[in-house]
Amino acid sequence: MNSEEIQAIFFVECEEALAATETAINACRDGSADAETINAIFRAVHSIKGGAGAFGFDALQAFTHAFETLLSDVRDGAVQVTDALVQLMLRALDTLSDHVTAVREGGEAPLDAQLLQELHAAQAQNPTAQAATPAEEAPSADVTAIMDDMIDDLDFDLDAMLSDLGAPDAAQDDDEWMVHIRPSDAAMRNGGEPVLLLQALERLGGRGIACATQGVPMLETLDPEQARMDWTFAMPSTVSEAEVSDIFDFVADDYLIAFDTPLDPMPEAAPAPVEVAPVTDLPPPSPVDPVAVADPQPAAPIDAPATRSAQPGSRSAGQSVRIDLSKLDRLIDSVGELVIAQAMMSERLSRHGLGAIEELVLLDGLTRDIQESAMAIRAQPIGAVFSRVPRTLRELETTTGKKVTLKVSGEQTELDKTVVERLGDPLTHLIRNAVDHGLETPEERIAAGKPAEGTLTLSAEQRSGRVIIRVADDGRGLNRERILEKAIDKGLVDPQAQLSNEDIDNLIFAPGFSTAATISSVSGRGVGMDVVRQNVKELGGRISIETQPGQGTAFVLALPLTLAIADGMIVTVGDQTLVIPLAHVVESLRPTAGQVKSLGASRRMLNVRGQFIPVIPLDQAVGARGAKVSPTEAVLVIVETEDAGQAALLVDGICDQRQFVIKSLDTHYRSVDGVAGATILGDGRVALIADVDTIVANAQARAQLPEAA
């Protein structure tokens, strides 16, 4: 494992620690916190501090130190948990999160001077707070001088000797204790730097007592890749062994750490050195096996309980593996090819009357299993996106003065990694809009007989092969009169147009639309909702609105589980075979002559249980030749679209309904209007995937041109 991989683990653990901290602080906010809650915050912040020290992230470490010191006071009961303290902790959490992001992405550390002052001010009431401040004093000259005299005397008890000599620094803290550190070769080979960890010990208040250098060979035999020194540090009694262990947490396997009980002396380099370090700690042989440098589990450590590799096995090794995303994508590609190959074999066998043989059925099941397993590897819980929401809400509360309670469910619902990554922006837009536009001010809510604090509900669930995400508020609901008025003002809608409630609701997705009286930093620029819809569409999803005046609004996102493989209806249109994504399909039918009505010279409408929807011949959209033109001889596939409601696509016939592998036209050819991509059919032919939204929207636009003229 190299240093980048170790750092990656650190950042994963940072995220977990930040999430744990947020949960615990929210418990404090709700009044459900107990002693363990504060302990959980302390441990999480402390853990980040340890890693920060190990990797030399000074700004992060300094901030966590200040935060942790305050938490220590809270844990000890010296500082009471008040609303003000909770707010301070929440802001500290946000800044801590920014610090972690800064070191992870190599950006600038956040400005935290003001907050550090507040953290210090909050802890200043605690008279014991200063005890946690690291002592920065260097070893005194006196002690060092005494130690200098001992260089030839390797067989001594350091603590006893200092005590006997009345060394002033040692006498300052009778409870000072020793930690012995020996980096292994791996500590240097992996790009790690042991000196950074020594500096971290200093920041904890430790001071270097001795460096054993007898293992360093002469220049002729020196190998710069080998670690040949070890150290003894004196730690103040205010620092625990756990705090020291935390420093080495992320490089545990590369160090041998011993508390109080000295390490076995490192073997002397041959030939015997002419000189040794001025301060050398070579204690009597201990029961600890020095071979343990390379072994996190020292052999037979029964009588050396204080010696261990730092926190070995503290992580649940073996439960997960990290894998390069490109390797995973190659696997997904191969699985896609397997799905195609399986379909081709099925097609060929069917031609010979062997389409239902047991082996083929077995292969079909296995292929689907492999495909689902491969997709599951890419799947991530949507909680990764939901976890950012509390912070967004806190910022919105500050900006808008509104109070919001967040309710979340379905965080474990899994989505493709790409979808999860690209969902963050649209979700943030929706939440900002919900708080800024949807929720009333506390005064308005009280006047309306509602609780002063609004509620935002985030939920996710898997339904019919799609993931449904709801962002709902209990605010005032959409004001349709105002939306329509605004749309007419902006020329988005003809004043004479008769729009359904759903049509009016959807106007908020129109480019440039906004009903906000003033443009705020939160929303009101009229670009947000348009971008949201575009983002969701790019993810292969759809967004719809449910709103009740006075009761609130919900935005419902329906997203595909994966972007690589989908279910589709295989249809023929003239000389072409097309795929219509099943997500759009409502039903299919062959109409009677009475169900189809002509509208003008070229338009036809289908009467579906009293509702008229336009009939759109698919051959025109894809340039197919020889397609059927009469709806009564063909098949109409009724589809639901994003903007244009329902439409009936005219196709010659339906061949099959199956999974298909989506191949990007952009990658292999170029973007084509009305075509969402391509796939390979079982007979080896390439079929285009219909971009239903665009095809219907284009057809509607063409149909309206003569009318406009």
Whichever of 211 and 622 has its CB closer to another protein, that residue is: 211
Whichever of 200 and 427 has its CB closer to another protein, that residue is: 200
Q: Which of 71, 89, 210, 638 binds another protein (CB under 8 A)?
A: 210
Q: Which of 45, 96, 227, 244 binds another protein (CB under 8 A)?
A: 227
Q: Does 144 bind another protein (CB under 8 A)?
A: yes
For 256: left if phi > 0, alpha if psi spans -120 to 50, otherwise beta; the answer is beta
Q: Of the candidates 617, 615, 616, which has an alpha carbon nearest to the alpha carbon of residue 606?
A: 615
Calpha distance 370→378 (Å, rounded):
13
Q: How many Cα neighbours within 13 Å face the side chain of 603? A: 16
| Tokens (6 digits) for 504 | 């009016």
The residue range among 45-53, 257-265, 268-276, 649-657 that interacts with another protein, by the rule CB under 8 A, is 268-276
- Determine the Cα angle at 415 with ends 656 and 530, to 5°: 90
Q: Does 277 bind another protein (CB under 8 A)?
A: yes
Calpha distance 255→309 (Å, rounded):
6
The residue range among 160-168, 225-233, 474-482, 522-530 that interacts with another protein, by the rule CB under 8 A, is 225-233
Q: Of the candidates 231, 211, 180, 207, which has an alpha carbon nearest to the alpha carbon of residue 276?
A: 211
Taking the mean position of all CA atoms in its chain, how far away is CA 626?
A: 51
Q: Which 8-state DSSP code applies to residue 249?
A: G
Q: Does 205 bind another protein (CB under 8 A)?
A: no
The residue range among 160-168, 189-197, 293-301, 400-408 that interacts with another protein, by the rule CB under 8 A, is 189-197
Calpha distance 517→436 (Å, rounded):
11
Whichever of 183 and 682 has its CB closer to another protein, that residue is: 183
Q: Does 231 bind another protein (CB under 8 A)?
A: yes
CB of 65 to another protein, least distance (A): 18
600 by DSSP, 3-state: which? coil
Q: Does 211 bind another protein (CB under 8 A)?
A: yes
Cis bond upstream, residue 560 (ω within 30):
no
The residue range among 73-81, 223-231, 336-344, 569-577 that interacts with another protein, by the rule CB under 8 A, is 223-231
Considering only residues 169 through 188, tell me which ones interact with another protein, judged by CB under 8 A: 183, 188
Calpha distance 604→613 (Å, rounded):
9
3 by DSSP, 3-state: which? helix
Q: How many residues bind another protein (CB under 8 A)?
A: 36
Q: How many Cα neighbours within 13 Å face the side chain of 334? A: 9
Q: Does 154 bind another protein (CB under 8 A)?
A: no
| Tokens (6 digits) for 707 | 């009318």
Q: Does 275 bind another protein (CB under 8 A)?
A: yes
Q: Does 278 bind another protein (CB under 8 A)?
A: yes
Calpha distance 619→559 (Å, rounded):
28
Q: Does 220 bind another protein (CB under 8 A)?
A: yes
CB of 193 to another protein, least distance (A): 4
The residue range among 209-217, 342-350, 582-590, 595-603 that interacts with another protein, by the rule CB under 8 A, is 209-217
CB of 275 to another protein, least distance (A): 6
Residues facing 597 on adjacent strands: 605
Whichever of 220 and 481 has its CB closer to another protein, that residue is: 220
Whichever of 67 and 231 has its CB closer to another protein, that residue is: 231
CB of 271 to another protein, least distance (A): 10
Q: Are 14 and 54 in contact (CB under 8 A)?
A: no
CB of 208 to another protein, least distance (A): 4
Q: Which of 43, 46, 65, 228 binds another protein (CB under 8 A)?
A: 228
Taking the mean position of all CA atoms in its chain, how far away is CA 404?
A: 23
Q: Which of 139, 296, 383, 645 binds another protein (CB under 8 A)?
A: 139
CB of 643 to another protein, least distance (A): 58
Q: Which 8-state DSSP code applies to residue 437?
A: I
Sheet with 230-235: strands ordered across:
207-212, 230-235, 177-183, 255-259, 307-308
The residue range among 21-29, 192-200, 455-463, 632-640 that interacts with another protein, by the rule CB under 8 A, is 192-200
Percent helix, strand and coil across the chain, each to the nearest 5:
45, 20, 35
Q: Does 270 bind another protein (CB under 8 A)?
A: no
Q: How far is CA 283 from CA 158, 161, 232, in A?
A: 8, 12, 11
Q: Which of 111, 124, 171, 195 binds another protein (CB under 8 A)?
A: 195
Q: Which residues bind another protein (CB under 8 A)?
A: 138-139, 144, 148, 183, 188, 193-196, 198-199, 202, 208-211, 213, 216-220, 222, 224-225, 227-229, 231, 273-275, 277-279
